[in-house]
Amino acid sequence: MDVKIYTDGAARGNPDGPGGYGAVLVYMDREGKIYKKEISAGYRKTTNNRMELMAVIRSLQELNRPCQVELYSDSKYVVDAFNQNWVSGWLKKGWKKSDGKPVKNIDLWKALLKAMAPHQVTFIWVKGHDGHVMNERCDALATSAADGENLLEDVPLTE
């Protein structure tokens, strides 16, 4: 099954202000019918990078069977982590960066690897705020969630 996922994260007063993520999942069945699902959530205190990661994690968790995924994000942090093999280097070094310092957001990187496991995921970078219709929609979902009520606590995810 081929799925396209578009994601974005937002944070007000980054770091440690309110934030949110938004994502749009798109699938076309064999008859050519298009299915679209939008997801989002807002958090009290977070960072933009955590929300970028949460958008990807929650999107992949929505899939109920192994899929071929094209994942579009305006986050170089997320896209480059895979396309430039940062993650594999971090794993080899015990979640340490090349400078020996610990990787930030390890809980989310681990959750992302787990969410990716059943799928074949290709990460594609898109320029943010550049008129890409789906990226703009994800940005609207993320910022609306960040500005919403009943914000969640951004607590570390456990394995």
**Strands across the sheet containing 17-28:** 34-46, 17-28, 2-11, 68-73, 120-125
Q: Tell me the per-residue pLDDT of 11-35, one tens digit each, with 9 for 90 and over.
A: 998 888 999 999 999 998 889 999 9
Catalytic residue among 19, 20, 42, 52: 52
Catalytic residue among 9, 19, 22, 42: 9
* pLDDT for residue 157: 85
Q: Tell me the per-residue pLDDT of 79-135, one tens digit each, with 9 for 90 and over.
A: 999 999 999 999 999 999 989 999 999 999 999 999 999 999 999 999 988 888 999
* pLDDT for residue 158: 77
Task: Please check the confidence at residue 159 and state whether its pLDDT lies above 70.
Answer: no
Please confirm, yes or no, whether 132 is among the known catalytic residues.
Answer: no
Please confirm, yes or no, whether 62 is among the known catalytic residues.
Answer: no
Residue 12 CB-density burial (10 A; 0-12 exposed, 13-18 middle, 19+ buried): middle
* pLDDT for residue 13: 85
Please confirm, yes or no, whether 136 is among the known catalytic residues.
Answer: no
Please confirm, yes or no, whether 148 is among the known catalytic residues.
Answer: no
* pLDDT for residue 16: 86
Catalytic residue among 13, 38, 62, 129: 129
Q: Cβ distance 62 to 56 under 8 Å?
A: no
Please confirm, yes or no, whether 8 is among the known catalytic residues.
Answer: yes
Q: Which helix (H) or strand (E) holds 22?
A: strand 17-28
Catalytic residue among 20, 42, 119, 139: 139
Catalytic residue among 19, 42, 74, 119: 74
Give backbone dihedrals phi and psi of 138, rounded to 5 degrees, phi first: -65, -40
- Ordered alpha helix ranges (H), 2-130: 48-61, 76-83, 86-92, 106-116
Residue 8, CA distances (Å) to 13, 21, 32, 44, 154 in order: 16, 6, 27, 17, 17
Distance in angstroms (rounded) separating the CA atoms of residues 145 and 141: 6
Domain residue ranges in the chain: 2-146
Single out the residue of 114, 113, 106 nearest to residue 156, CA to CA.
106
* pLDDT for residue 131: 87
Residue 96, CA distances (Å) to 84, 87, 92, 93, 107 in order: 16, 10, 8, 5, 13
Written out in words, the top-level CATH class of the domain with range 2-146 is alpha beta
156 against 75, higher pLDDT: 75
Q: Cβ distance 23 to 141 under 8 Å?
A: yes
Q: Tell me the per-residue pLDDT of 45-89, one tens digit each, with 9 for 90 and over.
A: 999 999 999 999 999 999 999 999 999 999 999 999 999 999 999
